[in-house]
Amino acid sequence: MNVIILAAGMGTRLGSLVPKPLTPLKNEETILDYQLKNIAKYVDLDNVILVVGYKFYSIIEKFPNLMYVYNQRYTQTNTAKSLLMALKKCKDGDTIWMNGDVYFDHRILQKLMKSRRSTLAVDNKKCSDEEIKYTLHKDGFINELSKTVKKPVGEALGINLIKAKDTQTFINSLQRVEDTDYFEKALENLTTKGKLQLKALNVENLYCKEIDFPEDLEEVKSRISRK
């Protein structure tokens, strides 16, 4: 199993002066610390790739033993091209990838790893305009996947699995999308054309929060302090 963490962005909406994955959640423990702690329960950290860009040296200095891919065009590209760079470096096998700003219950990884199909972790809650939303085909697999979906079923949570048999198809789609596209655009192009059956794994009973805004950060900090 490979794991990719997308950590190249600037995180301007959070207003932080450090890369968003280095945002402290409790004492000196950062978002990335919590992610790696969860990943290490199931996957050897030698199989983890971080895609870095903005102030990349800060991340490498804190986690010198991890494997890195540097997206030097991080100001011109979005998550599709960052993910493409990392997928090309992965070993054979299935790959879980996640955004570098997600705080989540480790059992989500366990559920994803048991899936027999390429899968997105989702919930069925009401979504805001800024969230990646999805709809389903009649067969129950994901159809539309973007911020602009009309009448969504729920939100895609930013933790996903691509099976080995689907990886090259996904790479080809990532190569075709625009530099400014999110990776979800490459997935949507495949699902709407029937080239990929993408399972929606509802993990609504397990906590997962993408930390985009200061209020998201405060919610996660509050949750951690109550544990």
**How far does the chain reach from its first CA to its final CA, in angstroms?**
30
Residue 104, CA distances (Å) to 23, 69, 155, 214 in order = 15, 23, 14, 17
Element (H, E) at 164: helix 164-176
Question: CB-based contacts of 223: which residues, under 8 Å, 6+ apart?
Answer: 207
Assigned token pair, 121: 């972790």
Each residue's pLDDT tens digit, 137-156: 988 899 999 999 989 999 99
Q: Domain residues of the chain, as ranges?
A: 2-226
Angle subtended at Cα 29 by Cα 27 and Cα 32, rounded to the nearest 5 degrees? 155
pLDDT value of position 66: 96
Q: Which of 18, 5, 39 is nearest to 217 (CA)?
A: 18
Is a pLDDT exceeding 80 seen at residue 206? yes
Residue-wise burial string across 105-133, b where 16 or more C-beta atoms lie within 10 A, e elsewhere:
eeebbebbeeeeebbbbbbeeebeeebbb
Question: CB-based contacts of 225: which residues, under 8 Å, 6+ apart?
Answer: 26
pLDDT value of position 138: 85
Each residue's pLDDT tens digit, 70-88: 999 999 999 999 999 999 9
pLDDT value of position 173: 98
Separation between Cα atoms, residue 21 and residue 10, nearest integer Å: 10
- Judged by average pLDDT, the poorest of 12-26, 147-161, 175-189, 203-217 is 12-26
pLDDT value of position 2: 97
Each residue's pLDDT tens digit, 10-25: 877 777 778 999 999 9
May I ask the CATH class of domain 2-226? alpha beta
pLDDT value of position 67: 97
Q: Which of 99, 70, 101 is nearest to 85 (CA)?
A: 70
